[in-house]
Amino acid sequence: MGIANIIFIVLLLAAIVLFTKNILKIKYNISLGGAYKGKGDFGTMARVALGQSKMTRRPIAGFLHILVYAGFVIINIEMLEIVIDGITGSHRVFSSLEGFYKFCIGAFEVLALLVLLACAIFIIRRAVLHIKRFGGPEMKKWPTQDAMIILITEIVLMTAFLMMNAADSKLMIMGAEHYKDVAMAKSDFWISQFLVDVLPSNESTLMGIERGMWWIHIIGVLAFLNYLPYSKHFHIILAFPNTYFTRQGAKGKFSNMESVTNEVKLMMDPNADPFAAPAADPDAVPQRFGAKDVTDLSWKNIMDAYTCTECGRCTDSCPANITGKKLSPRKIMMDIRDRAEELGAAKRKNGKDFEDGKSLLDYISEEEIWACTSCNACVQECPVNNSPLEPIIELRRYLVMEESKVPTELTGMLTNIENNQAPWQFSPADRLNWKDEA
């Protein structure tokens, strides 16, 4: 075991420790949310996350995304070999699998090229074509940079992978020490064979390139792993649990507030004695109606926010946003995530009972909350089954039931329902008048 292997092992362990630490922070932030009643469903996860079923609602982006996704998942099998080689100092430890190994390497190379091309097109879509949904007020400097960092990193990783293979195969053919024990022909490298002639023929330079690319690739991967928790790219992990816990049933169904049900039942029970109903726990803090902060949402709402990859399909299909209103479902998700980050960090620093005096309403304005038509387009379009609608309704519930902040016209509508059992000021006695009208 040489010094290089020791450096690799240290880097690998450091990367894993740091990643775990950041994952636990996110887990903490998600668990700031309250209970979620939904049950898990493997079928939904298989279809939506594994099967990418909602991606192709936008055919071009969907197709390119599937290439990158498939490339990412399949090329990562090769990571196992890279890690073993890095730890033990071996050279292509799985090459003893011969024919199957050669097929895999060839296929990985093809995928690497496709990923590279797809990422290049993605960059063009963002930087040259300026596709509308990648913009908007919430797409400030960081979200825009984040997307570019991800795409450029992936291009660098794939280039390093192909260059490494090219240098390696040239060294194998030249019979260089340590390389010659793997018997692979130039043609086994389906893509990188075309790079071989570009490379110099000097053995030590080639070794430098091969090692250099190997290190760039693996350090790049470990760095990227630790970039994930700070990035929208975290969706590659959370998409799976998030779709597993998808809300099931009709999208039109809004959650039932049980705390209200108990009150209403008490009001409607003629035998109930309003003074004789003791609280189950007299010291319990009364539950808040709706949501003022992320702690009033469910943990699923916060997981949604961390899964959001800011693709903007929700905002692009939102009737309010399309017609120039301030509401953007993507911003709702980003605000929930940013607020959870802020509150989570503060609580970790000052103890779990710490309150920072801020709330989600410092991020999301009433104007946004009231612009929603509850049409479910954002929910329908989200490729990872997020619901921006649910937190909007929870925020409305808080405004209406805790703060009595209702748009004036809606006050009239609500009063009419209470007094006349209809949203308009008509007498209930006139309900059947239509029958006899000409």
Partner 1 sequence: MSNALVVPTMAEMMAKGETPEILFWVGCAGSFDDRAKKITKAVVKILNHCNVKFAVLGTEESCTGDPAKRAGNEFTFQMQAMMNIQVLDGYEVKKIVTACPHCFNTLKNEYPELGGNYEVVHHTQLIESLFKEGKLAVKGGGDFKGKKITFHDPCYLGRANDVYEAPREILAKLDSELVEMKRCRSKGLCCGAGGAQMFKEAEKGNKEINIERTEEALETKPNFIATGCPFCNTMMTDGIKNFEKENEIKVLDIAEMIATAADL
Return residues touching partner 1 (CB under 8 A).
57, 249-254, 256-257, 260-261, 263-265, 267-268, 289-290, 317, 319-320, 322-327, 367, 370-377, 379-380, 393, 395-401, 406-407, 409-410, 412-414, 417-418, 421-424, 426, 428-435, 437
State phi, psi for 34 to the nearest 5 degrees. -85, -165
Measured distance CA(346)–CA(340) in Å, rounded = 10
**Nearer residue to partner 1 within complex by CB, 356 or 367:** 367
Element (H, E) at 338: helix 329-350
**Nearer residue to partner 1 within complex by CB, 202 or 419:** 419
Closest CB 395 distance from partner 1, rounded Å: 8
Closest CB 315 distance from partner 1, rounded Å: 14
**Nearer residue to partner 1 within complex by CB, 67 or 392:** 392
Residues whose CB is less than 8 angstroms from the CB of residue 355 and which lie 6 or more positions away in sequence, other chains included: none
- Write out the two tokens for 322: 């399309």
Measured distance CA(167)–CA(176) in Å, rounded = 11
Closest CB 336 distance from partner 1, rounded Å: 17
Closest CB 278 distance from partner 1, rounded Å: 22
Closest CB 247 distance from partner 1, rounded Å: 12
**Nearer residue to partner 1 within complex by CB, 22 or 380:** 380
Residues whose CB is less than 8 angstroms from the CB of residue 123 and which lie 6 or more positions away in sequence, other chains included: 148, 151, 152, 155
DSSP class of residue 402?
I
Query: On the CB side of 362, how many CA atoms lie within 13 Å of its CA?
Result: 11
**Nearer residue to partner 1 within complex by CB, 128 or 267:** 267
- Write out the two tokens for 284: 């319990």
**Nearer residue to partner 1 within complex by CB, 22 or 376:** 376
Please calculate the CA angle 83-87-93 and round it to the nearest 5 degrees: 65
131: amino acid identity, one letter: I
Measured distance CA(102)–CA(183) in Å, rounded = 10
Closest CB 139 distance from partner 1, rounded Å: 19
Buried b vs exposed e over 364-388: b needs ≥16 C-beta within 10 Å?
Answer: beeebbbbbeeeebbbebbbbbbbb
Closest CB 60 distance from partner 1, rounded Å: 16
**Nearer residue to partner 1 within complex by CB, 202 or 261:** 261
